[in-house]
Structure 1
Amino acid sequence: MPAISFHSVCKNYPGTRNRSAPGVRALDDVSFDIQPGEFFGLLGPNGAGKTSLISILAGLSRATSGTVTVHGSNVVSDYAAARRKLGVVPQELVFDPFFTVREALRIQSGYFGVRNNDDWIDELLASLGLSDKASANMRQLSGGMKRRVLVAQALVHKPQVIVLDEPTAGVDVELRQALWQFIARLNKQGSTVLLTTHYLEEAEALCSRIAMLKQGRMVALATTSELLKTASSNVLRFKIDSELPKAIADKARITGRIVQLPAHNAIEIEHYLSAIREAGLVAEDVEIRKADLEDVFLEVMAEKIGASA
């Protein structure tokens, strides 16, 4: 039995001004299963449908058609059982300003009927670096600390499935490392993890299998290693202080001084470097690296929907 099953999920939003006008199809016949114990990545650009899919899974929204189950429990017809099996860390910072951290976690435990949960709460606080904040009011916490509390709230009832929606957006390196160490430990102990993130290096390092969404449709589904094998080229990477010739700039991924170019063979690499020399420019720190998940992601997103579906 899959830990999570999406079957032919569609989600339509009506037009905002005229409800009879054509609306937006946020999800278009999305189907895939996540197996128990998987660390699964769900990737896509903004507006691809990731949040809509997670909202349906979490019961915050209903699919226009299709079914979603969590360990066999339908999220609509058997919603109470589905919620108990699920822990969701939302992208937004949502907190109750009237309680301390420990009180918030005790209340969250009560929502799921879990009593005498202080031992597990203490372990969560220690694992997420919150022990010294247990008696602090939620309003007193920094943004990073509030996000740690959201993770603890999602895990307080020991769910079988953990959903992380952009959990490290805007947080420091220390929290990222602590969070991933703890989540990786839970995953090794049998928890299923569904991750959405724009930090593709995280997805590449953590996820065993990945699905990619584009315009509400699934355009890739494979193991991380299989996706990396589909990369059509290596990458030429260097730093430069001047503007590149247009013919090269049009093919490049440029981040500040860093330029990255797809390089299929040695002839193409020499062509790029010769063009840079002929333009009177100097490339520094030149290296050739294997394509990573970000390169694969950009290739998949550049394909037309019809060609990639």
Structure 2
Amino acid sequence: MSAIRVRGLRKAYGGVAAVDGVDLDIAAGEVFALLGPNGAGKSTSVEILEGHRKRDGGEVHVLGQDPGKPSGDWRARIGIVLQSATDAAELTVREVVSHFSVYYPNPRPVDEVIDLVGLTDKAGARAGRLSGGQRRRLDVALGIVGRPELLFLDEPTTGFDPEARRQFWSLITLLASEGTTILLTTHYLDEAEALAGRVAVIARGRIVAEGTPKTLGGRATAEATVRWRGADGPQTRQTADPQKLIVELSRHEDLAELTVSRPTLEDVYLDLIGERA
């Protein structure tokens, strides 16, 4: 069953197409990452799915409803973590989470939410005195307090240090295990690879590739690069069958410092968006 189904989505600003015929299917319970450079149409697409922006054309169904005509019940079923937070500088972390929890019919316990995002030690601190990374954790807390069936995460770990990012990844894994559908946008490709079952790349308003992180853009079948140090110094060879090449080479020389690599997700991503140096 699809949590999100999009066909022919279009949106233009001043006659310039920001989203130009996007098709998308995200299954219930799936963690899906939407990747793309700034200005590619990523944020506009997500805002339409959230019901925050009107589309010019196409069919969109989110949890079985048109987000362009959102009901109160439908809004209670989704959670959103925006790129910029609502300011609540004078309220404490606990007060902010408690305030937002009353909007949902079956919220998570406030202290549980605060603990999940790693803010237990800051529960009594005013939001305006939190660091940038701590404010971002508070944003995430507001996104999950309502036990959403579908969670939109727009650049959720911006400002996180490495430890906080890893803790966030554990939270996403927990939510996914509970059956939450998650649509994630991120510029951190390692984050997409660690969390998402499938990814799509949007560029110039169109989806240019879709698949698992391992298969995106033909990554799984791309030629491997074999590097080694032989009698004549460092050597490099491209091959579709690295195992066969290594066996053949080993018959004739010692293969010191041998490495085998295939294109990384970043390599494929840069090729897809046309920004390979």
TM-score (norm 2): 0.83
- In structure 1, give the amino acid aligned to 2:200: A
Summarize the Cα distance change of 1:103–1:294 in structure 2 as closer, same or farther, 3 Å threshold: same
Match of 2:135 in 1: 146
Pairing 1:168–2:168 present: no
**Residue 236 of structure 1: how far off its partner (Å):** 7.2
Summarize the Cα distance change of 1:237–1:97 in structure 2 as closer, same or farther, 3 Å threshold: farther
Q: Which runs of 4+ in 1 moved over 6 A?
A: none
Map 1:1-309 onto structure 2 (within 5 A): 1-14=1-14, 23-113=15-105, 117=107, 120-227=109-216, 229-230=219-220, 232-235=222-225, 264-265=238-239, 287-302=259-274
- 8 Å CA contact 2:100–2:142 kept in 1: the answer is yes
SS at match of 1:224: coil
Q: How many residues align?
A: 251
- In structure 2, give the amino acid aligned to 1:5: R
Summarize the Cα distance change of 1:237–1:127 in structure 2 as closer, same or farther, 3 Å threshold: farther
- CA distance in 1 between counterparts of 2:45 and 2:128 reads 30
Alpha-carbon RMSD across the aligned residues, in angstroms, is 2.4
Q: Write the deviation string for residues 84-133 of structure 1: whole angstroms up to 9, x where unpaired.
A: 2211111224331131111111221223355xx5x621111112111121
- 8 Å CA contact 2:51–2:70 kept in 1: the answer is no
Summarize the Cα distance change of 1:236–1:24 in structure 2 as closer, same or farther, 3 Å threshold: farther
- CA distance in 2 between counterparts of 1:79 and 1:231 reads 45
Unmatched 5+ stretches in structure 2: 229-235, 241-256
SS at match of 2:91: coil
- CA distance in 2 between counterparts of 1:147 and 1:299 reads 31
- In structure 2, give the amino acid aligned to 1:298: L
- 8 Å CA contact 1:231–1:291 kept in 2: the answer is no
Unmatched 5+ stretches in structure 1: 15-22, 239-261, 267-284, 304-309
**Residue 199 of structure 1: how far off its partner (Å):** 0.9
Summarize the Cα distance change of 1:292–1:140 in structure 2 as closer, same or farther, 3 Å threshold: same
- CA distance in 2 between counterparts of 1:202 and 1:133 reads 26
Q: Write the deviation string for residues 115-154 of structure 1: whole angstroms up to 9, x where unpaired.
A: xx5x621111112111121111111101011000000000
Q: Write the deviation string for residues 53-93 of structure 1: whole angstroms up to 9, x where unpaired.
A: 11111222111112322210211223423322211111224
